[in-house]
Amino acid sequence: MNRNGSPTFYEFFAGGGMARLGLGEAWTCAFANDFDPVKAKTYRENHADAGSSNGEGHFHEGDVWKIAPDDLPGQADLAWASSPCQDFSLAGARAGLQGGRSSAFFGFWRLMEALSAEGRCPDTVVVENVVGLLTSHGGADFTALCRALSEQGYRFGALEIDAARFTPQSRPRVFVIATRLPVEGLSGESAFHTRAVREAHARLPADLQGAWTWWGLAAPPARNTDLAAVLETDDHMAWRTDVATRTLLDLMAPAHRAAVEARRASGERAVGAVFKRMRGGEQRAEVRFDGLAGCLRTPRGGSSRQTLLVIDRGQVRSRLISPREGARLMGLPDSYRLPRSQTAGLHVIGDGVAAPVVRWLAEQLLTPLVLRKSARLAAE
């Protein structure tokens, strides 16, 4: 903890600082880093204490492999690492921990090892990634992660949390929470012990299973907003032409087209989220009307750009989701400053972690762990 008594954390691969926003003002960021200039600029614009690109501050722009242990001040209570996920993604090439991007995790971990040797490693570590982390290379990558944690004296467990429980976006992610603090009273059943998590645990060697903790994280209250609630008003948005919308509809399989037609015939307003995907060698457009957006992605290609389909009084229109709407789907306030470029804004948002998920983790698990340490120190 810092001198004011609030818990401190390091935020690695910080992006636009969404984990920090989720942790909230009760936590103090002692150090943050990201190598992407756009994300770094966004972080600084949203966190006044981060410093400028040429000045002093807790934010370090650059490759994690070039950070020295001396760059990390003091001993933080928590290290948060949302390491690059592309090599774990089911949509990617599955290069795993040996891939160029996700190997950045080991750049982070060498710092944790160095801090451990100095006696100032954070007591708790969170690694956030896509669900593919659990199965990459037949589970070998997840085993390597657990092995790294175990060798530094951490107990650990994983939770699969979909942001859809908090905000109207389908965004499942894995959170590996590791700690050196006592875990009694924090384990138990959880809705976040999904089949994928249980199977990943079952694949671990016996010694790593012995270091596993089934975090008993409670489920949050039911979400009370849907996709339509976070959208801008129709008259403020740029819509695609009727021809472009018809082309989109023509890409739909019969079941998806029928879902559109049923809502058009009703005359009532309906909002759907559309993604283009390859199915059987053909490009298809798939729409969902369940009140959720699909998982936001970075705008690296046409198929990754999420489209909104709005049906109102028999009229069908389409448009791209805006960065501000994407920010709301990540649980960010409208005061959050986005890059001026739409592409840059979607890039920052699509690579982020949903802030309400972080907030729930902090309330239910991370803060209780820190308070447990405080109580122990006070008793000594």
Give me the CATH number covering residue 163: 3.40.50.150
Q: Do 162 and 130 sit in the same domain of this protein?
A: yes
For residues 253-270, one letter each, b for 16 or more C-beta atoms within 10 angstroms of the residue's C-beta and e for the rest, the string is: eeebeebbeebbeeeeeb
Contact status, residue 51 vs residue 59, Cβ threshold 8 Å:
yes
Q: Is residue 228 part of a domain?
A: no
Q: Is residue 270 part of a domain?
A: yes
Please name the residues in contact with 145: beta carbons below 8 A apart, sequence gap of 6 or more. 97, 105, 127, 133, 176
Q: Do 113 and 217 sit in the same domain of this protein?
A: yes
Q: Percent of the chain at pLDDT above 90? A: 79
Q: Do 290 and 216 sit in the same domain of this protein?
A: no
Please name the residues in contact with 325: beta carbons below 8 A apart, sequence gap of 6 or more. 230, 231, 232
Please name the residues in contact with 178: beta carbons below 8 A apart, sequence gap of 6 or more. 124, 125, 126, 127, 149, 154, 155, 156
Query: Residue 139 and residue 132: Cα distance in Å, rounded?
Result: 9
Q: Do 146 and 35 sit in the same domain of this protein?
A: yes
Q: Last residue of some domain: 301, 321, 341?
A: 321
Q: How far apart are the first and last CA of the chain?
A: 16
Residue 58 identity: H
Contact status, residue 332 vs residue 18, Cβ threshold 8 Å:
yes
- The number of domains in the chain is 2
Q: Do 191 and 312 sit in the same domain of this protein?
A: no
Q: pLDDT per position in the chain (380 positions), as tens?
A: 655 578 999 999 999 999 999 999 999 999 999 999 999 999 999 998 877 666 568 999 999 999 999 999 999 999 999 987 655 543 344 455 555 555 788 889 999 999 999 999 999 999 999 999 999 889 988 998 999 999 999 999 999 999 999 999 999 999 999 999 999 999 999 999 999 999 999 999 999 999 999 999 999 999 999 999 999 999 999 999 999 999 999 999 999 999 999 999 999 999 999 988 888 888 999 999 999 999 998 876 444 578 999 999 999 999 999 999 999 999 999 999 999 999 999 999 999 999 999 999 999 999 999 987 766 655 55
Q: Last residue of some domain: 273, 301, 321?
A: 321
Q: Is residue 337 part of a domain?
A: no
H or E segment and range at residue 197: helix 195-203
Q: Do 108 and 73 sit in the same domain of this protein?
A: yes
Query: Residue 276 and residue 256: Cα distance in Å, rounded?
Result: 12
Record the pTM. Answer: 0.92
Query: Residue 117 and residue 126: Cα distance in Å, rounded?
Result: 20
Query: Residue 214 and residue 189: Cα distance in Å, rounded?
Result: 7
List phi, psi (to 5°) of 82: -95, 75
Domain of residue 25, residue span: 8-221+349-379
Query: Residue 188 and residue 217: Cα distance in Å, rounded?
Result: 8
Q: Is residue 367 part of a domain?
A: yes
Q: Do 216 and 311 sit in the same domain of this protein?
A: no
